[in-house]
Every structure is written in C-alpha cells, then in structure tokens.
A and B are shown apart, each in its own frame.
Chain A
C-alpha cells in the first residue's frame, strides 16, 4: 500500500533520514520504533507531505506521491495525526471535527460526526467548547476522531500516547486496534515500544536516520537487541 524507497530528508544541511526503506501493507498496523531523534517523526512528516524528501521515492497504492502537498495527499487517503496532537485550539470541538471532513462533499458528513461523537462521548459533551480547553487525553481523542472523519485509507499516528496517563494510554491503544479492525491501515510511531508491538503486525526500529531492525511484531518482542534497547526494565512501559 505504502512503500518508501531510499528516502532521504534534510533539515537544512543536516540529514535526518539516511535512506529509509519501509513498507506498509493494507489492513495492518505497522509500528515504527526508536529513541528520540532517530528520525521517526521526520519519516512521518515526509510521508504526509510536510517535509519534502531530497532523494528517494514514496509510493502509495502503486502511485508515486513523492513531494505532493499535504492537502493533495489527504485527497489520496493519507491522514496524519501529528506529534503533540495539533488541534485547532481557537476553534470549537465541533469545528475541529468539521475541519476533519473538510475535503468531503458527500451528505454523510453530519451523520459521521454524530457517529464519532457517539464513539467519543466526551467530544459530544464538549462540542461547543474551545478545543484548547480540553485535557491532553481528550485532545488526542479529538485529533484521532478528526483524522478519521476524512475517511483515510492510511492513518499516520505520531506518538499518540505521548504525555498521557497510563489509563488513557491503554484507551488510545484500544482505539487504534479498533481503527484497524474497521479497515483502516495504521502506521504508528511510538516510544511505548512494548504496547505498540502488542497491537502491531509488523515493526521497524530506527536509529540515527536509518532502519536497523525490522520484523514481525512477535519476533521483535523477542529480539534481544530490541529487548535490550527498548523493552528492558529501564523502559517506561
């Protein structure tokens, strides 16, 4: 479904991605793991069109999408929930949801917003409130709900559990699993390696701009290198 070939992205002179090869198959959850600064978010931003790769190609559904703008990529079915959630804080919860369906012209938008609010009752309760007044967990729910309203084929989730209480983190992972079961493919970036691998089908591990390990989620959970670096007792999960 999504295929990155030798993708290199720069911030000015600094090379953040040193040739990424990555593949996402339809209907799966793929997770991208790694320490801070490994280039996970840069990979996500390169896929979503917020950063333009200098070299390499990105293909989506067999089509070259390298260098397209975010709004063009959304039209093709790629939706990003960026790190730090990026809700529109000066707009209401309902307006945020409406903006999620910005490109849609069908008549079901209203019903879909109703459905999403049924799924996340807190958003219905707070729909007229400014989104900036929501708690961190609620903002993450809003960001995910909003992304789903564009009816994406591929959902890119960048650190959805960041800064959230453990109970809410468990909720978020449950939601991600449900999203997959509803037929949307997910590419998930996480610090929380253990929980990410538990719901994922396949995983990649990044280090300083490169993919160093890849494999089935179960095999990664037992890979000594992964256990040592990301799943050891010292890790937060």
Chain B
C-alpha cells in the first residue's frame, strides 16, 4: 500500500517537476514569472486530446503536435508580449508579468470558446492496462509518464551542461550583460529559452491529461500555481530545485490524500510556500546572494 502510494507520488511529482522546469527556465534567464505558462501547458493538453481523440493520431504524434503548437505559442509570447517591454525607458519591471497574465486570460478564454467549459476525457490505448507485482498495482500509463518525465529531465540537464547553446543559456541566466560581452546573442537565447520552456510545458500538458484522464480550460491556473509553488520551494531559476521540488510536492500530496484529509490536497503547495519563505526564503537550492542585475 505504501509502495503503491510512493509510485503514485513519484508519477505526480515528475509531472509537477516538468511544469516547474518551464517556469524556472524563463525566470532564470528573464527574471520574470511567466504567468501564461500554465495556459500554454493547457493548450498542449488540448492539442493532445484533439489529435488522439478527434483525429485518432497515435500518442507519439500527439506529443510532436503539442511541442510544435506550444513552441509557436512561446515564440509569439516572447515576440509580442515580452520583447516590446524589454529595455524600454519608463516600463515598470512588473509590466512583463502583467502582460503574461493578459496572455493567460486570452488563452483560457479562447480554449473555453473552442472546446467548451467542461472536462474532456483523454483516452490512451493503454489507460486500463496495469501490472501486478505482488500486491502492488502499477498502471502502464504511470510508467510511461515517469519514463518520459525522467528522459526529459535528463535530456534538459545534459543539454544545459554539455551543449554550447545550453551553456549560453546558463551564462545569460547568470548575467545577461556578461553573456553579451562574451559574444552571446542574448536576444536569440531569450527566444530559445521561452520556446524551450513552452515546449516542455506542452509535453507536460499531455502527461497531465494522461495522468488524470481529463483536460479542461481551467487546468492551467491550478497547475500553474503549483508550478510557482515548486520553484519557490526549490529556488527560483534553479533547474535542480524544480526537479526536487516537484517530487516533494507530488509525494506529499499523494501521502496526504492516502493517509490524511484529501480536502487539503491543493493547500499543500501553498503551505509549503509559507513554510519555505519563513525558513529559507531563497529556496532549497537557491543561492543567498541576491542577483543585482535588473
């Protein structure tokens, strides 16, 4: 029973981690919280529902479609709502935050309009298949989610630490001005960051759809807030923090539902924010030194 809950918690946690990664990448490079990330993730989920359900495409094609659509959304977000506000005189540093809230409202209402307000089921061919190991039941869909999440996290980590573009992204996140004098075209890196973060959000959308077998236009907000809670927990802009924070939140939610009061499930994330801000405001992996840029 406990082991089963741990498996459930890790599955949920790995999805949370993927969502938080999108937030943390953008925060690391741009120093802003992308409030539209949750809605981009929701669009990814709807692309999954539409391609697998309505069009009958196989799951892997749904992933590709979601990546393509959310990447384009990420590009448009950067081009039309973030870039015009960057480096302009008299623009408040809160302006990009507000404009991403605008995008999130637009996307939510748009999908309301197109898909309706209710929940849409997300059927996968293997949603009912499960494996019994002793007394434990593991659903195949859980394994698929877990494997995809882990591969994505490993892939991102390797990309950030080994490739030239990944290092340029980290350099830009460390200090935009320094990166630019080292020859990094920081404008391109910013676009790349928002696009990659959005694509990861799109993948997360399909994973959540698979995990909960349900997709709705409102899912972006609640998942977005959890993603935010995780990056505060793990340390803003910190990739490792997003991964570990996601797992912690997933496990604690699952344990609370199994052994405590399930009514408090969604409160856990926010209790965590309060506790971490009191005890360790920079987050688990955050550094104490405040960034002086911007």
Chain A residues in the interface with B (C-beta under 8 A): 12, 48-50, 69-71, 74-75, 79-80, 82, 86-91, 95, 98-100, 102-103, 132, 146, 150
Which residues in A have their C-beta under 8 angstroms from that of B289? Answer: 89, 132
What is the minimal beta-carbon distance from B126 to any residue of chain A, in angstroms?
41
3 interchain residue pairs of minimum CB distance: A103-B183, A74-B183, A70-B180
Contact across chains for B180 and A88 when beta carbons are under 8 A apart: no
What is the bound-complex CA distance between A71 and B185, given in angstroms?
Answer: 6
What is the bound-complex CA distance between A95 and B177, given in angstroms?
Answer: 17
Chain A residue at smallest Cβ distance from B89: A12
Contact across chains for A48 and B181 when beta carbons are under 8 A apart: yes
Query: Is B170 interfacial (CB 8 A cutoff)?
Result: yes
Which residues in B have their C-beta under 8 angstroms from that of A146? Answer: 182
Q: Which of A88, A98, A100 contacts B175 (CB 8 A)?
A: A88
What is the count of residue pairs linking A and B with beta-carbon distances less than 8 angstroms?
69
13 more A-B residue pairs beyond the given contacts A48-B181, A88-B179, with a C-beta to C-beta distance below 8 A = A70-B181, A74-B183, A80-B181, A82-B177, A86-B175, A88-B170, A88-B171, A89-B289, A90-B174, A91-B167, A95-B167, A102-B168, A132-B289
- 29 CB contacts below 8 A, A to B, read A12-B89, A50-B177, A50-B180, A70-B180, A70-B181, A71-B180, A71-B184, A71-B186, A74-B181, A74-B182, A82-B177, A82-B181, A87-B178, A88-B170, A88-B174, A89-B174, A90-B170, A90-B174, A91-B174, A95-B167, A99-B167, A99-B171, A99-B184, A102-B164, A102-B167, A102-B182, A102-B183, A103-B183, A146-B182
Chain B residue at smallest Cβ distance from A78: B181
Contact across chains for B183 and A75 when beta carbons are under 8 A apart: yes
Which residues in A have their C-beta under 8 angstroms from that of B175? Answer: 86, 88-89
What is the bound-complex CA distance between A50 and B185, given in angstroms?
Answer: 13
Q: Provide the B161-174 mask, 1 if CB < 8 A to any CB of A, else 0.
A: 00010011011011
Contact across chains for B178 and A88 when beta carbons are under 8 A apart: yes
Query: Is B287 interfacial (CB 8 A cutoff)?
Result: yes
Q: Which of B89, B177, B184 contacts A102 (CB 8 A)?
A: B184
What is the bound-complex CA distance between A226 and B170, given in angstroms?
Answer: 44
Those of B24-55 within 8 Å (CB) of chain A: none
What is the bound-complex CA distance between A150 and B287, given in angstroms?
Answer: 30
What is the bound-complex CA distance between A101 and B185, given in angstroms?
Answer: 14
Which residues in A have their C-beta under 8 angstroms from that of B171? Answer: 88, 91, 99, 102
What is the bound-complex CA distance between A42 and B174, given in angstroms?
Answer: 23
Those of B196-211 within 8 Å (CB) of chain A: none
Which residues in A have their C-beta under 8 angstroms from that of B181? Answer: 48, 50, 70, 74, 79-80, 82, 86
What is the bound-complex CA distance between A87 and B177, given in angstroms?
Answer: 11
Contact across chains for A99 and B185 when beta carbons are under 8 A apart: no
Chain A residue at smallest Cβ distance from B164: A102
Q: What interface size band does chain B fall in?
A: 20 to 34
Chain B residue at smallest Cβ distance from A50: B177
Name which of A75, A100, A102 has the most chain B CB atoms within 10 A of its CB. Answer: A102
What is the minimal beta-carbon distance from A116 to any residue of chain B, in angstroms?
15
What is the bound-complex CA distance between A86 and B168, given in angstroms?
Answer: 15
Which residues in A have their C-beta under 8 angstroms from that of B174? Answer: 88-91
Chain B residue at smallest Cβ distance from A103: B183
Which residues in B have their C-beta under 8 angstroms from that of A75? Answer: 183
What is the bound-complex CA distance between A99 and B89, given in angstroms?
Answer: 30
Contact across chains for B182 and A150 when beta carbons are under 8 A apart: yes
Name which of B182, B287, B289 has the most chain A CB atoms within 10 A of its CB. Answer: B182
What is the minimal beta-carbon distance from B240 to any residue of chain A, in angstroms?
12
Which residues in A have their C-beta under 8 angstroms from that of B164? Answer: 102
Chain B residue at smallest Cβ distance from A80: B181
Contact across chains for B185 and A86 when beta carbons are under 8 A apart: no
Q: A91-B170, A99-B167, A102-B164 are in contact. Are A150 and B183 (CB under 8 A)?
A: yes
What is the minimal beta-carbon distance from B234 to any residue of chain A, in angstroms?
15
What is the bound-complex CA distance between A69 and B179, given in angstroms?
Answer: 12
What is the bound-complex CA distance between A172 and B180, given in angstroms?
Answer: 24
Which residues in B have their C-beta under 8 angstroms from that of A86? Answer: 175, 177-178, 181
Q: Which of A71, A91, A132 contacts B183 (CB 8 A)?
A: A71
Which residues in B have their C-beta under 8 angstroms from that of A87? Answer: 178
What is the minimal beta-carbon distance from B124 to any residue of chain A, in angstroms?
39
What is the bound-complex CA distance between A231 and B89, given in angstroms?
Answer: 40
Chain B residue at smallest Cβ distance from A82: B181
Q: A88-B174, A91-B170 are in contact. Are A100 and B182 (CB under 8 A)?
A: yes
What is the bound-complex CA distance between A70 and B184, given in angstroms?
Answer: 8
What is the bound-complex CA distance between A150 and B170, given in angstroms?
Answer: 19
Which residues in A have their C-beta under 8 angstroms from that of B186? Answer: 71
Contact across chains for B287 and A90 when beta carbons are under 8 A apart: yes
Which residues in A have their C-beta under 8 angstroms from that of B185? Answer: 69, 71
What is the minimal beta-carbon distance from A89 to any residue of chain B, in angstroms?
7
What is the bound-complex CA distance between A26 and B63, given in angstroms?
Answer: 56
Which residues in A have their C-beta under 8 angstroms from that of B179? Answer: 88, 99
Those of B79-100 within 8 Å (CB) of chain A: 89
